[in-house]
Each structure stands twice: as structure tokens, then as C-alpha cells.
Structure 1
Amino acid sequence: MSLDRRVTFYHAPQTRSSGTLALLKELGADYDLRLINLRAGEQRQPAYLAINPMGKVPAIRHGEALVSEQGAIFIYLADLYPEAGLAPAIGDPLRGPYLRWLVFYGSSFEPAVTDRSLGREPAPLARSPYGSFDDVLKTLDNQLEKGPYLLGERFTAADVLWGSALAWTTGFGLVPKTPAIERYLGKVTTRPVFARVAERDAQWAAEHAAAAGQG
């Protein structure tokens, strides 16, 4: 029996979930879109809290499976569409590094950037989930120096996540645009999918703003 791979994707424009939208398009995935209007507070309404009690996007539903957290979503979707070639298979030497960088984003990079943006001192090294901001940036920068992609010559779902993340964090001045990061963004975010997502997100965001203003 063939697997029904169509997913339901919960998305708010111009948020972290934009990276997931880019991934769905890179994969050529079948999906139903459910837009969440953050301006109207839909993410805190019971209907969406039943999907993700954290009230955050992105989230996906595939059959009876609900998946939240960006790293988990990227792993799930790229494995669901193996023919797209965006996920090294189990047994491939790149599988471990691929998973490492998908998880590193949420476990180290996001907490470090959040603390830095709020001017908070990180926890003592023995208790910090990421060590220090400088260590996180250096670790990432050293990997990108090997380029052109995170895993060298192979473009993967991890690059969709990191390209999207670094575009907005450098855009807001939260992360310095080192030469390695700048080269990486020039390679990844110039892919046609990123421009299409940005254009569609801008349209949805304007519609949500107008709808919230009428409410």
C-alpha cells in the first residue's frame, strides 16, 4: 500500500515557519496550507493550541502524527520525500553531520541568539545549553568555511533551515555577517524558492494586518 505523503502545514508569514514553507517547495511536497494570523492572536486560540500547546509555528500534521519544532519537522519532511535527495540516508556518512546541524540550530543557536538579543548573560558554562555565543558562532563559522554548503558540496534540508535562519538573524543585526556567512547566504538564499516564499509571505502578512485592523 502506498504511503499518503500529503501533510497539513500550519504557517504564519514572515516567521520561523517560512523556512518550512521553503523546504516544502524544495521537496516538491504535497501539502495543505493553514495560515495562522499572529496579529489576530490565532496562535493562542484553542483551535491552534490543540495543534501546538506552545502556540508556536511551524507545525505539521501527517495522518495522525503531529510534529512541531523546526529540527524535527525538517527531519520528518526530508525523510518523507527521499527522492528529492535533501536528506542523507541512514548509513550515509553524512547522515550524522546532517542531523547534528539540524539539531544544533534549536539546541544551541536559537538560545544563544535569544540571550544576545535581550542583553542577557548566558548561564554559567556548566549549565548553559549552548556554552557561549562566541563558541556557537565560531563553531558555525568554521563549518561554513568548508563550504559551499554545510555538508560541503551537498545541498540538504539543513541548508534550507540555516539559510532562512541566517538571513533573518543577520538582517536584524543579531548575528554578524562574517565572510563565511555572507558567502553561504549568497549561495543558498538566491535559490528561486526563497524569493517565491518571501513574495508570498509579504502578501499574506499584508492581508493579516488588514484583517487584524478590522477586528
Structure 2
Amino acid sequence: MYTVIGTVGSRTLRVLWMLEELGLPYQHVPANPRSDDVVEFNPAGKVPILVADGTPITDSTAILTFLADHHGALTYDAGSIERARQDSLTQFILDEFDAALWTAARHSFILPEELRMSGIKNTLRWEFERSQKTLNHRMAEGEFLLGERMTVPDIILSHCLTWALAAKFPIVEARLSDYLDRMRARPAFQRAAAR
């Protein structure tokens, strides 16, 4: 059994959702970043943490990739062209969506007040909207980013788009709004978000 450490209101949701999609048993410890439960496994104090066979794994993307590869689901085979496309989309989403949202959060409530630059959020929103247009052209036809098969970047993108709504970063592409509605309606997402 896996142990997942971190709160649902963080990137931990990605890991919980993945485990729900895979139908795997796990224990959830809803610990806040930098709390004793977190620092014990990750000195940086960041969540999520997945404990697998007594070994902590950090960083949500590393955890999702490990789970997908280990259980042979929600991924394409390593070394395949499909996996290269999957990894390319994962990196694009992390660089263009996750990074913008994380930088906005840092300048909203994470950094000390004297280091925050509120004006940067307008630039980040502009970049976020532009990245949506690019992603719209990269998406395959079908229910998921790569077509008819759900993969790791679907979880990351859906989490980022959910985060964007909470951060008041508009989703300007109708195709992405429809996509997010479908993804958030999945029973596994609903179970993970309810924790």
C-alpha cells in the first residue's frame, strides 16, 4: 500500500487522482507543507510525497510517472513515439501552465510581502492565455490530450486548469473548458477531490 502525504488543495490532488484512476489502495496523510509530517520525508517541506516500499518519492510529476510506469497504465511505453509526445506535452504543461500559476501564487501569498510584485500577475495571465491557444493546436482529436487514451499529462493539465479557475486565470479556449468539465466529472477525480 502506498502512503500519500499532502493536502488536497495542492499538487497532492494529482497523486490521489492517479491512484484512484488506477484503483490502488493507499493511505492519505493530509499534512500541510513544511509540517513535521512532511519535513520528516522531504527536508524541503514540499508536498506531495508518495511513500512506496518505505522510500519517499517527491515531485508530483515524478510520482505520476513512477506510478504509470510501475503499473503499466495511463502512459505509453518508454522509447515509443507516443511516449515522446506524452513527455513533450507534460513538459509543455509544466513550463507554460504550472510555472505561471506557481509564480502567481508565490507573488500572492508565499513570498514575504516586501518581495511580492503584484503586477507580474498580469503578465502571467497573458502568457497563460497565449499558452492555451498553443495547446489547443497540439491536442489530438478525442476525449484526452493524446486522443482516446488518458495519460499522465491529462492529470497535470486538469489540475492546472482547476487551479487556474481558483486563481482567477481565465480559460479562454472553449475546447479546454469542455475538456476540463469532462475530466472533473470522472468518478476518480471526484473521489480524490472529496478527500
Range class of TM-score, shorter chain: 0.7 to 0.9
Partner of residue 60, structure 1: 50
The question of whether the paired residues in 2 share the 8 Å contact of 1:59 and 1:69 is answered with: yes
Distance across 2 between alignment mates of 1:169 and 1:197 = 18
Distance across 2 between alignment mates of 1:11 and 1:116 = 21
Q: Which runs of 5+ in 2 are unaligned?
A: 106-117
The question of whether the paired residues in 2 share the 8 Å contact of 1:115 and 1:122 is answered with: no
| Partner-residue secondary structure (3-state), 1:44 | coil
Partner of residue 169, structure 2: 174
Distance across 1 between alignment mates of 2:103 and 2:38 = 27
Q: CA deviation at 1:75?
A: 0.5
Q: CA deviation at 1:138?
A: 2.5
Q: Which runs of 5+ in 1 are unaligned?
A: 1-5, 124-131, 202-215
Task: Mark the CA change 1:32 to 1:121 in structure 2 (over 3 Å): closer, same or farther.
Answer: closer
Q: CA deviation at 1:11?
A: 2.4
| Partner-residue secondary structure (3-state), 2:81 | coil
Partner deviation per Cα, 1:103-161 (whole Å, 9 max, x = no partner) = 333333222234456431799xxxxxxxx445433322322474431112221132122
TM value normalised by structure 2: 0.78
Please show how residues 121-136 of structure 1 align to structure 2 within 5 Å: 132-136=127-131
Among 92, 97, 110, which residue is 2:80 paired with? Answer: 92
Partner of residue 81, structure 1: 71
Task: Mark the CA change 1:190 to 1:133 in structure 2 (over 3 Å): closer, same or farther.
Answer: closer
The question of whether the paired residues in 1 share the 8 Å contact of 2:13 and 2:192 is answered with: yes
The one-letter code sitting in structure 1 at the alignment partner of 2:98 is: E
Task: Mark the CA change 1:170 to 1:18 in structure 2 (over 3 Å): closer, same or farther.
Answer: same
Partner deviation per Cα, 1:166-205 (whole Å, 9 max, x = no partner) = 1231243213242111121122111111222222x3xxxx
Distance across 2 between alignment mates of 1:134 and 1:99 = 22
The question of whether the paired residues in 2 share the 8 Å contact of 1:10 and 1:60 is answered with: yes
The question of whether the paired residues in 2 share the 8 Å contact of 1:163 and 1:185 is answered with: yes
Partner of residue 62, structure 2: 72
Instruction: Check if 1:49 corresponds to 2:39.
Output: yes
Distance across 2 between alignment mates of 1:57 and 1:100 = 24
Partner deviation per Cα, 1:23-69 (whole Å, 9 max, x = no partner) = 10101123232221x3xxxx324442131223221111212532211
The question of whether the paired residues in 2 share the 8 Å contact of 1:147 and 1:184 is answered with: no
The question of whether the paired residues in 1 share the 8 Å contact of 2:129 and 2:170 is answered with: no
TM value normalised by structure 1: 0.72
Aligned length, in residue pairs = 180
Partner of residue 160, structure 1: 155
Please show how residues 106-125 of structure 1 align to structure 2 within 5 Å: 106-115=94-103, 118-120=118-120
